[in-house]
């Protein structure tokens, strides 16, 4: 059973059709990387999976159940999908520990003591055990993004989505965030990443998906897609990036 399945997904913003019929399945433990030029619909696809955007047409299935945005409690749906944003979006009025515990305590109703224990464990995993009392404004971009990853993991999600998680970072800080994502991949976390880090995509991905103009135009194992892209558009895109 797939963790996430998408069938015939369409999304329009006014006159602009951003997704023009996307089908996708993501299996348990799989790491899927989505590449493609900007405006190709990569981020919108992610945002439709947790209903930060509502698809105009098509089906989204999570763990074998179709999500009905009109009838289902989307808050419950989102609990199980971790998301990491390009601009971190940490809560600036809360310290690091509180950023990580606020959802488990207030959404899951977890005891603060238990939430703190989980949060400290996760902060240790992302290498920020000593920063739990700091406020986000005192952290570097790479540290902020690692806190954001810990925050999403604290809800114990079925899948983690990364929306250009390293695009806003200074080059020397990219590595520490990619390292954390790599650890997660090795730990068996199901993940879907939108990224421009092609070298990393090649290393970490089980499958690479190339999007352009609202369509998935090609998908393959990373070695194959990067070495022998079948589509002309993929070749052109890769030659521009490398």
Residues that bind other proteins (CB under 8 A): 50, 52, 75-76, 78-79, 81-83, 85, 87, 89-93, 102-103, 106-108, 135-138, 148, 151-152, 155, 168
Task: Give whichever of 10 and 87 is closer to other proteins, judged by the CB atom.
Answer: 87
Q: How near is the Cβ of 92 to other proteins at its closest, in Å? A: 4
* Cα–Cα separations (whole angstroms), residue 75 to 107, 121, 169: 9, 25, 30
Q: How near is the Cβ of 149 to other proteins at its closest, in Å? A: 12
Task: Give whichever of 107 and 223 is closer to other proteins, judged by the CB atom.
Answer: 107
Residues 108, 100: contact at Cβ < 8 Å? no
Task: Give whichever of 144 and 233 is closer to other proteins, judged by the CB atom.
Answer: 144
């Amino acid at each position: 059973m797939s963790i996430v399945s998408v069938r015939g997904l369409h999304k329009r913003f006014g006159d602009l059709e951003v997704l023009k019929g996307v089908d996708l399945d993501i299996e348990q433990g799989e790491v899927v990387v989505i590449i493609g030029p900007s405006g190709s619909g990569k981020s919108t696809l992610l945002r439709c999976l947790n209903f930060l955007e509502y698809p105009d047409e098509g089906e989204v299935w999570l763990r074998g159940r179709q999500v009905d945005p009109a009838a289902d409690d989307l808050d419950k749906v989102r609990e199980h999908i971790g998301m990491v944003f390009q601009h971190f979006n940490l809560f600036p009025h809360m310290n690091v520990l509180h950023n990580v515990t606020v959802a488990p305590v207030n959404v899951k109703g977890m005891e603060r003591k238990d939430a703190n224990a989980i949060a400290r464990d996760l902060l240790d995993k992302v290498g920020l055990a000593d920063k739990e009392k700091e406020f986000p404004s005192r952290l570097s971009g790479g540290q902020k993004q690692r806190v954001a990853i810990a925050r999403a993991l604290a809800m114990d999600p079925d899948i983690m989505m990364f929306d250009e998680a390293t695009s806003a970072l200074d080059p020397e800080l990219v590595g520490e965030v990619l390292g954390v994502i790599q650890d997660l991949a090795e730990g068996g976390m199901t993940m879907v990443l939108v990224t421009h880090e092609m070298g990393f995509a090649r290393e970490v991905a089980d499958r690479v998906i190339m999007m352009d103009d609202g369509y998935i135009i090609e998908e393959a194992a990373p070695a194959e897609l990067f070495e022998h892209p079948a589509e002309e558009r993929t070749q052109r895109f890769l030659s521009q990036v490398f």
